[in-house]
Structure 1
Amino acid sequence: MLNVYTDKKFIEKHSKGEKFPLIYALLFDERDEFPEIKNYYQLVESIDEAEVAFLPFSWNYYLNKGLQTEAERFIDECHAKNLKVLTYISGDQGVMPVNKNVYVFRNSGYKSKKLRNQISFPAFFKDPLVHYIKKENHQVRVKAAKPVIGFVGQATPNLLKAAKDIGFIMYRNLKFHLGKTRLEPQQWFAAPFMRYKYLKRLEKHTDIKTNIIYRERYRAGVRKNRSVDKTTYEFYENINDSDYIFNLRGAGNFSVRFYQTLAMGRIPVLVDTDCLLPLEGIIDWTKHCIRIPQGKEHEMEQRLVAFHEHLTQEKFEQIQKANRKLWEEYLTLTTFFARIHDLLKNDEI
């Protein structure tokens, strides 16, 4: 178990701020969703008892609220005690940390622009086999002659929307360079338009069976909880009824769908846009997904068909089971931070 120090006084003053996920699990888990996390970490009151420190809120919160001096004060206090400080960047775009001598966890970002101490971590969500798909309705897929690839989400040929998406990115990037925003510049990328382009290619391929539901807007534009749940059920049912799931980044350079696919025991087809996946030194991602490298997007259909054709039924089943197990053992909030615990204990972070 690791003794963790955090800035509790700051948390008391800013209880509504966006918390580091581990700090949330340790201090604010009122529904007891993460009971096992306390087998790995315990919060201590005194910095002298600590083995590691966590900045309690996201860098986004400190910078947006003009509280970076508070973050620096905490970091300096911890570094004076030779403690590693782990921090968090939230959101699709992210911000640049003020202090470069800390460890930074984030979902998005570009592998080619990775910070020295940046650690990619997965998206966290409810277990779909507990909340959305009955286990008796979830079976290991039998290998058919053609691969079945699914997708539910925002994908549209609307050129006006694509122009608006790129224009907004250009505007935000300009604001960054003018010092008007702290959100990091992004590559010009109209995700819904590009998804539509790739999905239509998959539909046209005679050796691929598709299971695709196009949405004009995110979650079909619904906002109320009951409607959101309905679209979530449809989303997971689509994954359940497919062998492979198409994955392409959204507003940020990462895909929540990628991890949801693994949680469902299906195989992601990831269009790699300079992505940084979690625990790359520990997980051999080539065993769990079809990763289409940048510059090779035109080979997606060929790679999918070849991958499927070379699988035996036994191997096909093994990958599905291995993907579900990977999510359970490495990619939930508890199991991911259990791995981080081990790396910290072994001084590998």
Structure 2
Amino acid sequence: MSDSRMLRLYVDPAWRRAGALHSPLLFPFWGNPTTEVSLFAKEMFDSYPMNTRLFTVTEKINEADMVFPPYRHSWLLEHDEALLRECVRQAEETGLPLFIDGAGDVEFPVGIENAYVLRIGGYRFLPEKNRIQVPAAADDLLERCAGGRVQIRAKREGEKPIVSFAGWAELTLTQTLRTVAKELPSRLRTVVDSRYRAMRKGVFWRKQALNTLARSDKVELRAIKRRTFSGSAKTAGAPMRRLRQELVDLVLASDYGLDVRGDANESTRLYEILSLGRIPIILDTERNLPFRDVVRYEDFSLIVDFRDIKRLPERIADFHRSVRPDVFEEMQRAARAAFVAHFRTDAHMRHIVRQLEALGALTGNR
């Protein structure tokens, strides 16, 4: 697709459903209906919408490159499968590919011919045809909460590296038992393939990582462990803005920010750390790191395989000891630059179009 030709998504106005939350790709055209319950998401998409210089929606199917169901795949499966079938029918009759927003904590198989699907999670050892990998949406915390200026942190030679974490890291006994029962099929598969261990719920990985770091004398851990998810007014244990500011202050006062998967095999925290110009420690649970083909994560992060979690303190300490002071500071600048150029929501569409082109989805449709 040339710079002068936009990606055109066909959306029939009759597909709109009153009261339903449409895909964020449609926020620039249909408005941002996100409620105060998800206040941060509303502010984020209002400030950093998808780049409409690269795509648009059309009601004329003969002008379109792809057919786009206006709601996320999980919502359609639960609430309106008839609408999904109608979108599939339109795509089949016109010979256009189908573009599905399948982003979310839970990903359901699509199983539709000539369909391309947005995802935020998944596992490298379980490839999916026509997957379009995107980051979890994350706000620019430097602009939102820290004055907009990168605060470069000098390396403190001879001192222990400070690692920060703030987030959901505790489950009740009932939650634990329920989750373990739900994970039983994947846990049994670990007997023959250790990669399936990566499918454990993110809170379990966070708890193990934090306990490992807390017991070590090689790093200094500064952690705020929460009992609930703090990104929604329905579950936050205190005012959301206060909880977010605690996170920002903690990360900025640290050398590294710990990033561990959430319910999806992905983490908003990674991009929040990058937005603040800090170096993330990424626990790699077979994650599909977005835009890995063009983004060199090693320039701004330390990646540790989940199978090496018991050596997490040593890996961090060894890295910190070996990195030169000038490189340590440059990695912080690179972290911030990567967030703005690639991972902030207003940068996603360039990579979405690029991946669609690479997969051949946009060849000869118009």
- Equivalence map 1:116-127=2 (5 Å): 116-127=129-140
Matching residue of 2:192: none
Matching residue of 2:269: 257
For residue 51 of structure 2, give the secondary structure of its aligned residue in structure 1: helix
- Aligned counterparts of 2:237 and 2:63: Cα–Cα separation in 1: 43
Amino acid at match of 2:345: L
Question: CA offset at residue 343 of structure 1?
Answer: 4.4
Unpaired stretches in structure 1, ≥5 consecutive residues: 174-184
Moved more, 222-231 or 311-320: 222-231
For residues 220-247 of structure 1, the C-alpha deviation after alignment (integer angstroms, 9 at most, x for no partner) is 9974798011111111111111121112
Matching residue of 2:180: 166
Q: Percent identity?
A: 21
Q: CA distance change for structure 1 residues 306 and 251 in 2, over 3 Å: closer, same or farther?
A: same
Q: CA distance change for structure 1 residues 342 and 217 in 2, over 3 Å: closer, same or farther?
A: closer
Q: CA distance change for structure 1 residues 161 and 220 in 2, over 3 Å: closer, same or farther?
A: farther
Matching residue of 1:330: 342
Say if 1:2 and 1:341, in contact at 8 Å, map to a contact too. no
Amino acid at match of 1:218: F
Question: CA offset at residue 45 of structure 1?
Answer: 2.4
Is 1:4 aligned to 2:18, yes or no?
no
Amino acid at match of 1:236: V
Say if 2:136 and 2:266, in contact at 8 Å, map to a contact too. no
TM value normalised by structure 1? 0.84
Moved more, 292-301 or 217-226: 217-226
Matching residue of 1:86: 99
Matching residue of 1:48: 62
Say if 1:155 and 1:192, in contact at 8 Å, map to a contact too. yes
Say if 1:153 and 1:219, in contact at 8 Å, map to a contact too. yes
Unpaired stretches in structure 2, ≥5 consecutive residues: 34-44, 188-195, 362-366
Is 1:71 aligned to 2:84, yes or no?
yes
Matching residue of 1:27: 30
Q: Which has the higher contact order (CA 8 A, sep 6+)?
A: 2
For residues 113-154 of structure 1, the C-alpha deviation after alignment (integer angstroms, 9 at most, x for no partner) is 221111221121332122222235x51111113221100122
Is 1:38 aligned to 2:52, yes or no?
yes
Question: CA offset at residue 104 of structure 1?
Answer: 0.8
Q: How many residues align?
A: 335
For residue 339 of structure 2, give the secondary structure of its aligned residue in structure 1: helix
Say if 2:8 and 2:64, in contact at 8 Å, map to a contact too. yes
Say if 2:130 and 2:359, in contact at 8 Å, map to a contact too. no
Is 1:297 aligned to 2:309, yes or no?
yes
2:298 to 286, 292, 301: 286
- Aligned counterparts of 1:221 and 1:11: Cα–Cα separation in 2: 28
Matching residue of 1:179: none
- Aligned counterparts of 1:123 and 1:221: Cα–Cα separation in 2: 15
- Aligned counterparts of 1:154 and 1:188: Cα–Cα separation in 2: 17
For residues 12-48 of structure 1, the C-alpha deviation after alignment (integer angstroms, 9 at most, x for no partner) is 3x14334232122333148853567221112222111
Question: CA offset at residue 327 of structure 1?
Answer: 0.9
For residue 47 of structure 2, give the secondary structure of its aligned residue in structure 1: coil
Say if 1:258 and 1:270, in contact at 8 Å, map to a contact too. yes
Amino acid at match of 1:212: A
For residues 217-275 of structure 1, the C-alpha deviation after alignment (integer angstroms, 9 at most, x for no partner) is 33399747980111111111111111211121222221111111111111111211121
Q: CA distance change for structure 1 residues 270 and 6 in 2, over 3 Å: closer, same or farther?
A: same
CA RMSD of aligned residues (A): 3.1
